[in-house]
């Protein structure tokens, strides 16, 4: 399992980007919330949405989950 974080600061389109803890850009995210550890990125997205975020995958660590 991997730990996932959601950027608490929304993008200009209102989406909050989700990263894995090992993402190369995670250090540039100053204000992030730990979502917990999940087996899949989709589960992390569901958790973020359960917490009220409109979530999208990070282009760097989760390109397969990123939607335009
Ligand atoms: Zn990332």
Q: What is the pLDDT of residues 16-65, one digit of tens each?
A: 999 999 999 999 999 999 999 999 999 999 999 999 999 999 988 877 76
How many angstroms separate the alpha carbon of residue 43 from the centre of ligand 1? Answer: 16
CB of 19 within 8 A of CB of 25? yes
CB of 51 within 8 A of CB of 45? no
pLDDT confidence of residue 68: 76
pLDDT confidence of residue 54: 97
pLDDT confidence of residue 3: 96
How many angstroms separate the alpha carbon of residue 62 from the centre of ligand 1? Answer: 6
Give residues whose Cβ lies within 5 Å of ion ligand 1. 19, 23, 25, 58, 60-61
Domain regions of the chain by residue span: 2-65
Contacts of 62 (CB under 8 A, 6+ apart): 18, 19, 20, 23, 41
* pTM of this prediction exceeds 0.75: yes
Give per-residue pLDDT as tens, 6-17. Answer: 999 999 999 999
How many angstroms separate the alpha carbon of residue 31 from the centre of ligand 1? Answer: 14
Report the C-alpha gap between 67 and 37 in whole angstroms. Answer: 22
How many angstroms separate the alpha carbon of residue 8 from the centre of ligand 1? Answer: 13
């Amino acid at each position: 399992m991997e730990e996932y974080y959601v950027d608490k600061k929304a993008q200009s389109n209102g989406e909050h980007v989700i990263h894995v803890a090992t993402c190369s850009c995670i250090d540039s995210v100053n204000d992030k919330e730990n979502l917990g550890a999940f087996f899949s990125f989709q589960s992390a997205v569901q958790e973020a949405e359960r917490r009220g975020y409109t979530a999208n995958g990070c282009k760097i660590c989760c390109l397969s989950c990123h939607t335009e």
